[in-house]
Structure 1
Amino acid sequence: MASHRLIQHVGKRYGLNVSEALYDRLNMYYFVEGHALNDKPRLAKVAAESLVETLAKTENATIPPMTENEVLNFLNSNKGRREIENALRALTELGVHGIPKFIIEGSRVVDGAAMPDVFIRIFREIEKRGEVAGGPVFGDILGVDDSIVMRASHKKDTMFPKM
Structure 2
Amino acid sequence: MAFSILRIPYFLEPDYKEKEVFIETNRERLVKKWGGKRGWENQKHHHNLKGRGLDAGIPYFNLDRKTSNTMASHRLIQHLGKKYGLAVSEAVYDLLNVYYFVDGHSLNDKPRLAKVTCELLDELLPKDKAPSKKEILNFLNGTEGKEQILHALAALNQLGISGIPKFIIEGRTVVDGAAQSETFVEIFREIEKRGSVHSGPIFNDVLEVSDETVQKPSHCLTN
TM-score (norm 2): 0.60
Moved more, 71-80 or 93-102: 93-102
1:80 maps to 2:145: yes
Which residue in the other structure is 1:5 paired with?
75
In structure 1, the residue corresponding to 2:174 is in which secondary structure? strand
Amino acid at match of 2:87: N
Which residue in the other structure is 2:176 paired with?
111
Closer/same/farther in 2, CA of residues 97 and 113 from structure 1, 3 Å limit: same
Which residue in the other structure is 2:165 paired with?
100
Moved more, 107-116 or 22-31: 107-116
Among 108, 115, 122, the alignment partner of 1:38 is 108
Among 197, 206, 216, the alignment partner of 1:141 is 206
C-alpha offsets along residues 76-125 of structure 1, whole Å, 9 cap, x if unaligned?
11000011111112222222222221102213311123356755675577
Amino acid at match of 2:99: Y
Which residue in the other structure is 1:54 paired with?
124
Which residue in the other structure is 2:98 paired with?
28
Closer/same/farther in 2, CA of residues 130 and 110 from structure 1, 3 Å limit: same
Moved more, 28-37 or 124-133: 124-133
Which residue in the other structure is 2:84 paired with?
14
Amino acid at match of 1:81: K
Closer/same/farther in 2, CA of residues 155 and 119 from structure 1, 3 Å limit: closer
Q: How far off its partner does 1:137 sit?
A: 1.5
Higher helix residue share: 1
Closer/same/farther in 2, CA of residues 22 and 119 from structure 1, 3 Å limit: closer
Which residue in the other structure is 1:58 paired with?
none
Are 1:105 and 1:134, in contact at CA under 8 Å, matched by a contact in 2? yes
Amino acid at match of 1:107: R
Q: How far off its partner does 1:18 sit?
A: 0.4
TM-score (norm 1): 0.81
Are 1:22 and 1:47, in contact at CA under 8 Å, matched by a contact in 2? yes
Q: How far off its partner does 1:52 sit?
A: 0.9
How many residue pairs are counted as aligned between the two chains?
153
| Inter-partner Cα distance in structure 1 for 2:86 and 2:196 | 23
- The structure with the larger Rg is 2
Q: Which runs of 5+ in 1 are unaligned?
A: 56-60
Closer/same/farther in 2, CA of residues 140 and 34 from structure 1, 3 Å limit: same
Question: CA RMSD of the aligned region, Å?
Answer: 2.4
